[in-house]
């Protein structure tokens, strides 16, 4: 099948949100990204591109949601950074994916930030929601009744009839009004703020995430102890069937919450995927400066790399590759390309890093590093490793597996003077083809691309990860 011309889109940007997907478009969107990748790298005369596809749906093992309790109804919410109803539906869900691609090292920071933010209500600490609400209120008040008619889709602020009445009373007060043009501009700016998207099912996430979502929503809605001041729910699942749910609160948690959480675990264990795996999902409760772990705060993932199973301990709140199927492809490819180097004197591949990769395997996170054992390090995705991995024999043989951090200037970061020419073989897994392209230009005179791969970590977005195996000319 011939590739279509490069898509007329921006660069390989961090993933945008995907709430609804059409599986029939998977091949088309992937081919557009591949065409763009081939065009970008054609100056290096690379070999045939090896393509590793994602499952077209249910590919994301983790998901995080704001919990809304407006109007007495408890449901999940995500925020779109694109204005308009249609744009919101297309742009809301892998905002978490953007954090994965750009802020892997600081994966725990948003969690603590959300806990520290706080608010006086029963949910929704997201500052985007507050900014949006205030901007819309102000713009509509300035624009007058005509704008109120045009903005019937604006989210309620206080909920219920009382809130609507109060808003109406404020709008009826006499105060200076802006000109219609300025009022319209203010309303347009408000509409450009992040939009609230209700999420009942999430086809991007694993089937197990969807199963757990439904149960958590129902149990929390019906249990006052679980519900009180709950503002966020995070779900972390695995191919192995192990799962963890984190509930975040704006209140201190006590023994009553722990008892309710244990009962919740029993209900979660009866969901299809958990029951089939014979595993009881873990539940973690968090509030400011407090974390209550029911059983433990991690999951055990089992990744198959070229027919060999590896166990990886993934810690709650720390970075892990969200697309486990593509992660397996990435690891298998990295191991495969380093096999010739290993036969020649000791190469160091992502899937053979061993215990040396423990801290790197956790993406530089100290809590995660403490939880990773030698087997887990061997299973870590290459793009999660922030430092070069080279065993003693590998270094002597001038062979290295380069596994990058998110910084743009990788060569400067790892070698100080930007000199990679001391290595005969280099494995480079990149989450940004454009920065990889810039780095390759710096060493194109001494190294060539012997293997070239693309990994569709975030389907239906512009984002594409890739890998190159470089050998000395």
Binding residues for S-adenosyl-L-methionine: 321
User: Which residues have CB under 8 Å from 201's CB, separation 6+?
Assistant: 210, 213
| Angle formed by the axes of helices 433-443 and 26-41, nearest 10° | 20
Continuous segment of H or E residues that includes residue 430: strand 425-430
Nearest to 385 by CA among 366, 362, 365, 353: 362
Q: Catalytic: which of 220, 327, 431, 466? A: 431
Number of H helices, E strands in the chain: 19, 14
Determine the Cα–Cα distance for residues 310 and 372; give it in Å rounded to an integer: 12
Q: Are 287 and 115 in contact (CB under 8 A)?
A: yes
Q: Exposed e or buried b for every residue in 50-80, given b needs 16+ CB within 10 A?
A: bbbbbbbbbbbbbbbbbbbbbeeebbbbbbb
Beta-bridge mates of residue 467? 429, 453
Does the annotation count 220 as an active-site position?
no
User: Which residues have CB under 8 Å from 103's CB, separation 6+?
Assistant: 109, 110, 406
Q: Are 359 and 376 in contact (CB under 8 A)?
A: no
Binding residues: 321
Nearest to 62 by CA among 217, 282, 261, 234: 234
**CA dist list (Å): 63 to 199, 205, 256, 332, 405:** 11, 7, 27, 25, 23
Q: Are 350 and 360 in contact (CB under 8 A)?
A: no
Q: Are 316 and 379 in contact (CB under 8 A)?
A: no
Six token digits for residue 467: 């890998």
Q: Are 427 and 401 in contact (CB under 8 A)?
A: yes
CB atoms within 10 A of CB 416: 8
Calculate the CA dihedral of residues 261, 264, 265, 270 and round it to 10 degrees.
180
Determine the Cα–Cα distance for residues 230 and 217; give it in Å rounded to an integer: 11
* Catalytically annotated residues: 431
């Amino acid at each position: 099948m011939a590739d279509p011309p490069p898509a007329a889109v921006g660069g390989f940007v961090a993933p945008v949100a995907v709430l609804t997907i059409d599986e029939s478009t998977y091949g088309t969107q992937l081919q557009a990204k591949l065409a763009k990748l081939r065009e970008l790298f054609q100056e290096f005369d690379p070999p045939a591109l090896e393509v590793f596809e994602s499952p077209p749906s249910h590919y994301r093992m983790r998901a995080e949601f704001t919990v809304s309790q407006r109007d007495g109804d408890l449901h999940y919410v995500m925020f779109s950074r694109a204005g308009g109803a249609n744009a919101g539906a297309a742009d809301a869900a892998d905002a978490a994916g953007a954090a994965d691609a750009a802020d892997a090292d600081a994966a725990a920071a948003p969690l603590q930030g959300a806990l520290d933010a706080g608010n006086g209500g029963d949910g929704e600490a997201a500052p985007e929601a507050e900014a949006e609400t205030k901007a819309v209120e102000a713009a509509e008040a300035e624009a007058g009744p005509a704008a109120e008619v045009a903005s019937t889709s604006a989210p309620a602020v206080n909920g219920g009839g009382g809130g609507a009445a109060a808003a109406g009373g404020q709008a009826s007060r006499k105060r200076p009004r802006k000109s219609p043009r300025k009022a319209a501009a203010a309303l347009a700016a408000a509409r450009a703020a992040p939009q609230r998207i209700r999420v009942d099912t999430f086809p991007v996430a694993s089937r197990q995430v969807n199963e757990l979502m439904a149960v958590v929503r129902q149990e929390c809605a019906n249990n006052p102890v679980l519900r009180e001041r709950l503002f966020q729910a995070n779900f972390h699942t695995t191919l192995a069937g192990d799962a963890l749910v984190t509930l975040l609160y704006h209140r201190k948690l006590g023994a009553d919450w722990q008892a309710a959480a244990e009962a919740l675990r029993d209900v979660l264990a009866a969901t299809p995927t958990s029951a089939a795996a014979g595993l009881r999902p873990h539940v973690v409760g968090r509030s400011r400066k407090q974390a209550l772990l029911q059983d433990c705060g991690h999951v055990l993932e089992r990744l198959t790399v070229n027919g060999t199973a590896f166990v990886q301990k993934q810690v709650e709140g720390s970075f892990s590759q969200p697309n486990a199927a593509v992660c397996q492809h990435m690891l298998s490819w990295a191991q495969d390309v380093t096999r010739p180097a290993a036969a020649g004197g000791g190469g160091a591949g992502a899937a053979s890093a061993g215990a040396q990769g423990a801290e790197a395997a956790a993406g530089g996170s100290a809590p995660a590093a403490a939880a990773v054992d030698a087997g887990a390090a061997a299973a870590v995705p290459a793009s999660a490793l922030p430092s070069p991995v080279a065993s003693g024999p590998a270094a002597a043989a001038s062979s290295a597996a380069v596994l990058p951090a998110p910084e743009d200037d990788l060569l400067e970061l790892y070698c100080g003077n930007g000199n990679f020419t001391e290595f005969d073989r280099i494995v480079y897994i990149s989450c940004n083809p454009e920065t990889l392209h810039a780095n390759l230009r710096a060493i194109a005179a001494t190294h060539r691309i012997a293997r070239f791969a693309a990994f569709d970590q975030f389907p239906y977005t512009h984002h594409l990860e890739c890998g190159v195996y470089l050998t000395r000319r």
